[in-house]
């Protein structure tokens, strides 16, 4: 139903059809904001900003279009929006905030101080080497609250300063903290960079080069590596022979490997002449996934270089070198601003 300029039909049901305010068609989300108000001038400033004089959805900023769009079902929303909305129907079902959310598991707290890993912390707890506020703790799963004094072997533990290092990984280095069977690890390249105990985020094969993040921030590591967050990786691939266009289409549309279905987000030639060089965008973090895709089609990967990971690139970082992330980069990563 349409309401004419400056008038409203008595008894009209505003929930049906497209409501209009001063001749402007409002979408469902905007109708909810407007309610029974007839003029944009009567709306609060923030609401007027949304509506303004815009007549079409296409005139709205990208972030507003994303929220409004033409999406009718929750399943059509991006994963980040579904996460916010989910199936929660009541305010009481939303995550709790405040001091309760600040409590963390004891093993995680110990690991955050740089003393050891979480698994090793569990062993120390079982061995009776840890106290909280002077009381011996041997049970796993105990949580630490703000202000608690945690001691290991009689020494008070304090959380480490968070460190973030971007490396351009070279070949023949293993992506691990320590490996008795490996001659060289990526940690060897950053010795002396900081006193904190850092570790690589995710894995790159020994012969894979490119962007690698090292940190001691466990929460960020989880967000960057867990499949649910779908962080984008871009690889420059060199093959042993020219790739057929039909095989590129197979990679783009998807195929089934031993561990399930997989497809690239995008694939193209990286060089207009050399058809052995390919650029691949992919979200999957499954082991050796890029190599396995090409091997499945009968190609051998000669070189594999990761040029992009979760918003980070190797620009101005020579092979085998590293740098600390900027405050802006750290903030963007923590805000989940990069795809």
> What are the sequence ranges of the domains in the chain?
20-90, 100-156, 164-334
User: Using CA atoms, how far apart are residues 250 and 261, in angstroms rounded to an integer?
Assistant: 12
C-alpha count within 13 angstroms, C-beta hemisphere, residue 86 = 9
Q: What pLDDT shows up at residue 290?
A: 95
What is the pLDDT, as a whole number, of residue 28?
52
Query: What's 164-334's CATH class?
Result: alpha beta
| Distance, first Cα to last Cα, the chain | 41
Report the distance separating Cα 217 and Cα 199, nearest Å: 9
This prediction has a pTM of 0.61
Ordered strands of the 155-156 beta sheet:
135-136, 130-132, 150-152, 155-156
Q: Is 296 helix (H, G, I), strand (E, B) or coil?
A: helix
Q: What is the pLDDT of residue 183?
A: 86
Angle between helix axes 218-225 and 327-334 (nearest 10 degrees) is: 60
Paired sense of beta strands 233-239 and 301-309, if any? antiparallel
Query: Pick the catalytic residue: 172, 179, 205, 219?
Result: 205
Q: What is the DSSP string of 115-145?
A: SS-HHHHHHHHHTT-EEETTEE--STT-EE-
Predicted confidence at residue 164, as pLDDT, reads 96
Token pair 């296409």 is at which residue?
Answer: 58
The Cα–Cα gap between 197 and 215 comes to: 8
pLDDT of residue 116: 82
Distance CA 238, CA 333 (A): 29
Query: Which pLDDT score, from 0 to 100, does residue 25 have?
Result: 52
CATH label, 100-156, candidates 3.30.1160.10, 3.10.290.10, 3.40.470.10, 3.40.50.300 = 3.10.290.10
Known catalytic residue at 205: yes
Measure the CA–CA gap between 329 and 339, rounded to whole angstroms: 13
Mean pLDDT per block of 10 residues along the chain (339 residues) reads 41 44 49 47 48 44 44 44 41 40 83 82 92 91 89 86 95 87 90 90 92 92 83 95 95 94 95 95 91 96 96 95 95 81
Does residue 316 come out as left (phi exceeding 0), alpha (psi in the -120 to 50 range) or beta?
Answer: left
| Kind of pairing between the strands at 301-309 and 208-215 | parallel
């Amino acid at each position: 139903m349409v309401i004419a300029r400056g008038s409203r039909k008595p008894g009209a049901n505003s929930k049906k059809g497209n409501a209009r305010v001063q001749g402007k068609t409002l979408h469902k989300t905007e109708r909810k904001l407007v309610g029974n108000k007839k003029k944009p001038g009567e709306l609060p400033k923030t609401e007027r900003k949304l509506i303004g004089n815009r007549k079409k959805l296409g005139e709205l900023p990208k972030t507003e279009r994303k929220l409004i769009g033409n999406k009718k079902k929750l399943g059509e929303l991006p994963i980040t929006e579904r996460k916010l909305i989910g199936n929660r129907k009541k305010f009481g079902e939303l995550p709790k905030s405040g001091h309760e959310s600040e409590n963390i598991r004891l093993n995680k707290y110990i690991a955050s101080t740089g003393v050891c890993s979480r698994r090793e912390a569990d062993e120390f707890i079982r061995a009776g080497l840890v106290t909280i506020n002077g009381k011996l703790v041997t049970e796993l799963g105990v949580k630490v609250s703000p202000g608690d004094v945690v001691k290991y072997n009689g020494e008070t533990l304090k959380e480490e300063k968070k460190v973030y290092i971007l490396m351009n990984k070279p070949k023949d280095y293993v992506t691990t903290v320590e490996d008795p069977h490996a001659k060289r690890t990526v940690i060897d390249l950053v010795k002396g960079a900081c006193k904190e105990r850092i570790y690589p985020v995710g894995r790159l094969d020994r012969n894979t080069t490119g962007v690698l993040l090292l940190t001691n921030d466990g929460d960020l590591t989880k967000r960057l590596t867990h499949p649910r967050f779908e962080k984008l990786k871009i690889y420059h691939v060199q093959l042993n022979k020219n790739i057929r266009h039909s095989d590129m289409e197979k990679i783009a549309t998807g195929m089934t490997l031993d561990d399930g279905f997989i497809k690239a987000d995008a694939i193209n030639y990286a060089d207009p002449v050399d058809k052995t060089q390919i650029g691949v965008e992919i979200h999957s973090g499954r082991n050796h996934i890029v190599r396995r895709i090409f091997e499945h089609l009968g190609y051998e990967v000669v070189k594999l270089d990761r040029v992009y990971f979760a918003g980070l690139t190797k620009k101005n970082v020579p092979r085998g070198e590293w740098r600390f992330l900027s405050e802006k980069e750290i903030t963007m990563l923590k805000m989940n601003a990069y795809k």
